Amino acid sequence: MKLRHLSPAFRTFAGDGALDALPRELARVGARRAVIVCIPAVAAHSDAMGRLHEALGDRLAGQFEGVEEHSPLPSVEQARAFLADHDADAVIAVGGGSSVVTARAATILLGEGRDVRELCTRREADGRLVSPKLAAPKLPQWVVPSSPTTAYAKAGAAVRDPETEERLALYDPKARAQGVVLDPVMALTAPARLSWSAALNVFSMAVEGLQSRRVDPLADAALAHAVRTVVTWLPRVAQEPDSAVPRLQLMLAAIMSGQGSDHTGGGLAQALSHAIGPRSSAPNGVVEALLLPHAMRFNAEVVSHRLDAIADCLGLADRSAAGAVAEVERLLGVFEAPRRLQDIGVAKESLAEAATYAMDDWAITAGPRVPEAQDVHDLLDSAW
């Protein structure tokens, strides 16, 4: 057996008193001017934000509250300018995936000092997708989340150009967060429905990671436990809306799913959700979960043996590919995830355009079976 497993430095603090770690973390890198990047809805929670402000003390240099869903390029550019104007030497992303991605993308743009189209992944004349090397230093970042998202542990950031509807993907390991601080009060600021939709992304990414051709037992262990954690705790978010415990457990699952899939690669459902998400009325996690069984069936013929790992972590007696897909579909029903794209506002005439955008998504190259354009269109059509 041959294995190469490199884990980037990442610190996790969770529970009562977790925020006390932030000033120590900033001191560790010599940061004195931290800027918070968050969505307006989180900024409005005076109790949670007050706790964060108190923890940061005189190290807080400013707060950018202009994060928008899907991280559109104009708001990312505004965040970049805010960091520059406040002479930031550290960034604290507060909220969900959009806050994390906006903070990371703004940090990349600030560090590189170039137009986003010079920095993003692009398709070369020979058809290859190429991600440029981004050499400039980046500001250190931490995440104080309000919902579970696999974005905590990632090095990539994809922003949306609202003029062209393009998804511009930036990748820079230096922009990866130093760590995450899971505060119980902040965890309760998100509506239960938002925690639900974000956890669907955690589940989907973990399941797709377990289908990878790359057999990495360390990554598989994290991904499998992420799946089990979501299965156990996601239903309890609705059952115990005033308890932070289920949400914190799902946030830990998000770290495991994000880190594990870093080693195994992304998946087809992830790439397709990036293209369909802006064309639907649902969050990306919901779209990804809806597409997951379809992607599993597409991949089954080349990684049927990898579905054993899914069968194991779900405790299935039926270890066939069909059995694993059926159980995932059953669980998605328990999670109350929608089943058809038309049920989340996707117009049938938008499928061809979405398929075209999906083919330029880096994640589509990381799956166990790379589809052709017609495969993608057929899959989306069957999901509609």
Q: What is the average pLDDT value for the chain, to the nearest integer?
A: 92
Q: Is pLDDT at 365 greater than 80 in this prediction?
A: no
Residue 61 has pLDDT above 80, yes or no: yes
How do residues 137-147 score in pLDDT, each as one tens digit? 999 999 999 99
Q: What is the pLDDT of residue 69?
A: 86
| pLDDT at residue number 301 | 85
| Mean pLDDT on 283-288 | 90
Which band of pLDDT confidence, cut at 50, 70 and 90, is reported for residue 220?
Answer: very high
| Euclidean distance between CA atoms 98 and 152, whole angstroms | 11
Q: What is the pLDDT of residue 361?
A: 77
The string of pLDDT tens digits covering residues 240-267 is 999 999 999 999 999 999 999 988 877 8
Q: Between 3.30.360.10, 3.40.50.1970, 3.10.20.30, 1.20.140.10, what CATH number should domain 11-185 receive?
A: 3.40.50.1970
pLDDT at site 2: 79
Q: What is the mean pLDDT of residues 231-248?
A: 95
- How is 187-236 classified by DSSP, letter by letter? HTTS-HHHHHHHHHHHHHHHHHHTT-SS--HHHHHHHHHHHHHHHHHHHH
How would you list the strands of the sheet with 90-95, edge to edge?
11-14, 179-182, 141-145, 90-95, 34-38, 60-64
Model confidence pLDDT, tens digit, residues 301-322:
888 888 877 888 888 888 788 8
pLDDT of residue 311: 83
Domain ranges of the chain: 11-185, 191-383
pLDDT of 324 higher than 80: yes
> What is the predicted pLDDT for the residue at 90?
98
Strand 141-145 vs strand 90-95: parallel, antiparallel, or unpaired? Answer: parallel
For the chain, give the percent of residues with pLDDT over 90.
68
Is the pLDDT at 126 greater than 80? The verdict is: no
Confidence band (pLDDT; 50, 70, 90) for 332? very high
Q: How confident is the model at residue 215 (pLDDT cuts 50, 70, 90)?
A: confident
Give the tens place of pLDDT for each residue, 88-112.
999 999 999 999 999 999 999 999 9
Contact 291, 383 (CB under 8 A): yes
pLDDT at 108: 97
pLDDT at 306: 84
Say what the pLDDT of residue 283 is: 85
Report the first-to-last Cα separation within the chain, whole angstroms: 42
Rounded CA gap, 88 and 86, in Å? 5
CA separation for the pair 70, 55 (Å, rounded): 29
Query: Which CATH number applies to 191-383?
Result: 1.20.1090.10
Quote the percentage of the chain above a pLDDT of 70.
99
What pLDDT does residue 267 have?
83
Q: How confident is the model at residue 153 (pLDDT cuts 50, 70, 90)?
A: confident
SS3 at position 75: helix
pLDDT bracket for residue 281 (50, 70, 90): confident
Query: What pTM did the predictor assign?
Result: 0.94
90 in Cβ contact with 37 (< 8 Å): no
Range with the lowest mean pLDDT among 20-34, 199-213, 359-373? 359-373
Would you call 132 helix, strand, or coil by DSSP?
Answer: coil
